[in-house]
Structure 1
Amino acid sequence: MRIEIETFTVNKRFPLTISRGTTSQTTNLWIKVEQDGITGWGEASPFSLGNYRQSTEILQQALQQTVPRLEVYNPWQRQQIEAVLNTQLPSAAKAAVDMALHDWFGKCVGLPLWQIWGLDCSHIVPTSVTIGINIPEDAKARVRAWLQFADVRVIKVKLGNPAGINADREMFLAVQEEATTPDIFVDANGGWNLADAIEMCNWLADMGIKYVEQPLAQGEEDQLLELKKRSPLPIFVDESCHTSRDIPQLAPYIDGINIKLMKAGGLTEAIRMVHTARAYGLQVMFGCYSDSTLANTAAAQLSPLADYIDLDSHMNLIDDPFVGAMLQTGRVIPNNKSGLGVECSAA
């Protein structure tokens, strides 16, 4: 098979601020796998979690070094290919190749992936849209902009403000006042210590919140048991859970996981994570980084398996080059086209 790598830069309509910083632009990688006249597409998005950095340059270099080892195979040789991908290749780079191989396979048999997997798209729940950390008035303005731009049914508020939990409360109340939907979720991105997390979980429960995501920083998982004992809210983890291997040790202390294709390493591992999480009685969410429609459409193929969806990054882009899954009644719904069902709008 032949593999091509291209870069493309996307700009956010609204810069996103979380507890770790602000992003307004990213340069992602577009992978093309070609065999027998069929081309499969995949995407790698850079992300950083503490000292775990996968920059565009790191991903591009890793892929360029690995492509010659992959091109000796054809897309049907998935076991051999996965063995190559597992040799120290960054997870987002693995995700891009894995995504492209799934797209190729779907196009080869002429079916969308959700149909190949026997999934029911009527089970897809509404996606949340994200309100980043900001002062209350700017947070309100961001809510108004989302409501004007899209059919919003769920809002996710980023907390963990470096200014402290009083700033978090003020922003949350501002969002709640402006929102037209009762479904507001919270993601602290590891921005609280244990004492603040306990206090905020109890306060947020009084506000009607259903769960809290990543209240403690990655690396502080030993404190999750104490938080679980004292929190009236279910606890989801994101940064603390990369692959299915992380789930067994986390399961006694949490209620759910956030699966992202870039940190999981693609659709193959995402499916493993879903089944592992269910085996431990955990709930499942699908999330994203600064992904375009290409990667979010790939995740949407598995969305019928999720309890919560957070696939909104592509909707905040002003120059997304791809067209795929569409927002319908607040839900990111994949289409009936074969493979991922993604096209390049610039083509």
Structure 2
Amino acid sequence: MASFELEKITLPLNLTWKIARNSSTEKNNFVVRAKGNGSMKNLVGMGEVAFNIRYGESAALTEEAFKRFQQEWNPEWHTMEEFQDYMASLENIPASLRFGLEAAFIHYVSQFIGKEIPAFLRLKKINAISTSFSLPIMPTEEIGEFVTGRKLTRFSSLKLKTDSQNVYERVAALAAVYSGWIRLDANEAFTDPHEFLRVAESLKPFRIQFIEQPLPADRGDDYLLIKGKSPFPLFADESVTDKEITSYHKERFHGVNIKLMKSGGIFKAMGQLKSARALGLKTMLGCMVETSLGISWAMQLACLADFFDLDGHLLLAADPFNLVQEDQGKLIWPEYH
């Protein structure tokens, strides 16, 4: 009933995207399409794959895994149970591809049965959310102009990417031109927990909402040390993959950043968000650098999140889908269903 296609797309950025571990001016993603056959040929489900080298993913691995997926796929399968059973039988499928395939199939099936995706997922539909906007690492003296030139004060929160150097100066430069909440994201840049705590203490004069992943994900004991001493809440990012959210995360963090591309599927992300809330953790929906196709999927789960960092499509020179609009720091998702 449905066959799958994979299309590679190149996405030039409207800035140089620099974080603690790498820098880029364009992104290569994939679009997955689940297409109907015969009388269903007008039905097309779509998902996005934004692979990430931090988690061992690449374009070549994505294409190879997609070929393996296609080998035994039965076009007559049309239920989620059939799809999920088949996916469970496949090994070494990158999480971002698993998400893209599942998203495309859910979109296809929801059209087939005539339901909007939130209704199919049994979730409350939310059409607008407030997102943060991320500032990449840049020279401190350029931060003020970056914010004012792009009119970023319209966002209720800004995420400042940083490494372990000159953090106070960067935050001060941002606070000089912006009075909203600042989210600090170190992307595992700190290696010394005591140095991180010293830096965090120095930031107490500023409106820091929380700090994401200051230390590497494999430094579990160090996170036990800093959680109770940090003056600001700590959110896990790289410490969250496609595994369950458990007491491990609760003992080390105050919240978790859930990204569909890392979760490996809509249902897996839903489970992670629900588990996090049951454990008393705050939840945030985040993203990779991706189009509004991927962002629109994250918005399907908006009712399960406390915070949103869904600005990936706003970093693109041109969004090929325009499924989500931004107005005064809010993302509006009017049509995709």
User: What TM-score, normalized to structure 2?
Assistant: 0.91
- Correspondence for 1:344: none
Instruction: Note the 1:121-200 alignment, pairs <5 A.
Output: 121=126, 125-147=129-151, 151-161=154-164, 164=165, 167-179=166-178, 181-192=179-190, 193-200=192-199
Output the CA distance in 2 between the equivalents of 1:75 and 1:199: 55
- Correspondence for 1:95: 99
- Correspondence for 1:34: 35
Distance 1:322 1:226, change over 3 A: same
Instruction: Note the 1:75-114 alignment, pairs <5 A.
Output: 75-76=78-79, 77-85=82-90, 87-114=91-118
| SS of equivalent to 1:30 | strand
- Verify the 8 A CA contact 1:73 1:81 in the aligned structure 2: no
| SS of equivalent to 1:211 | strand
Q: Give the drift of 1:75.
A: 3.3
Give the letter for the 2:270 counterpart.
Answer: I
2:57 to 46, 54, 59: 54
Output the CA distance in 2 between the equivalents of 1:75 and 1:183: 45
Give CA-to-partner distance per residue, 1:259-302, whole Å, 9 cap, x none.
Answer: 11111112111101111111111111111111111111111111
| SS of equivalent to 1:54 | coil
**1:279 is aligned to 2:300:** no
Distance 1:299 1:293, change over 3 A: same
**1:65 is aligned to 2:62:** no
- Verify the 8 A CA contact 2:125 2:300 in the aligned structure 1: no
Give the letter for the 1:75 counterpart.
Answer: H
Instruction: Note the 1:213-232 alignment, pairs <5 A.
Output: 213-232=212-231
- Where do 4+ consecutive residues of structure 1 move more than 6 Å? none
Output the CA distance in 1 between the equivalents of 2:245 and 2:70: 28
- Correspondence for 1:15: 16
| SS of equivalent to 1:219 | coil
Distance 1:137 1:112, change over 3 A: farther
| SS of equivalent to 2:77 | coil
Instruction: Note the 1:262-341 alignment, pairs <5 A.
Output: 262-338=261-337
Output the CA distance in 1 between the equivalents of 2:197 and 2:129: 29
Output the CA distance in 2 between the equivalents of 1:264 and 1:118: 18
Give the letter for the 1:4 counterpart.
Answer: E
- Correspondence for 1:342: none
Distance 1:205 1:141, change over 3 A: same
Give the letter for the 1:187 counterpart.
Answer: D
Output the CA distance in 2 between the equivalents of 1:337 and 1:134: 35
Output the CA distance in 1 between the equivalents of 2:274 and 2:185: 24
Report the aligned-residue RMSD: 1.9
Q: Which runs of 5+ in 1 are unaligned?
A: 339-347
Q: State, as a whole percentage, how many aligned pairs show the same letter.
A: 25
**1:25 is aligned to 2:26:** yes
Q: Give the drift of 1:120.
A: 4.4
- Verify the 8 A CA contact 2:30 2:48 in the aligned structure 1: yes
- Verify the 8 A CA contact 1:190 1:218 in the aligned structure 2: yes
Give the letter for the 1:189 counterpart.
Answer: N
Output the CA distance in 2 between the equivalents of 1:145 and 1:287: 25
Output the CA distance in 2 between the equivalents of 1:112 and 1:137: 47
Q: Which runs of 5+ in 2 are unaligned?
A: none
What is the aligned length? Answer: 328
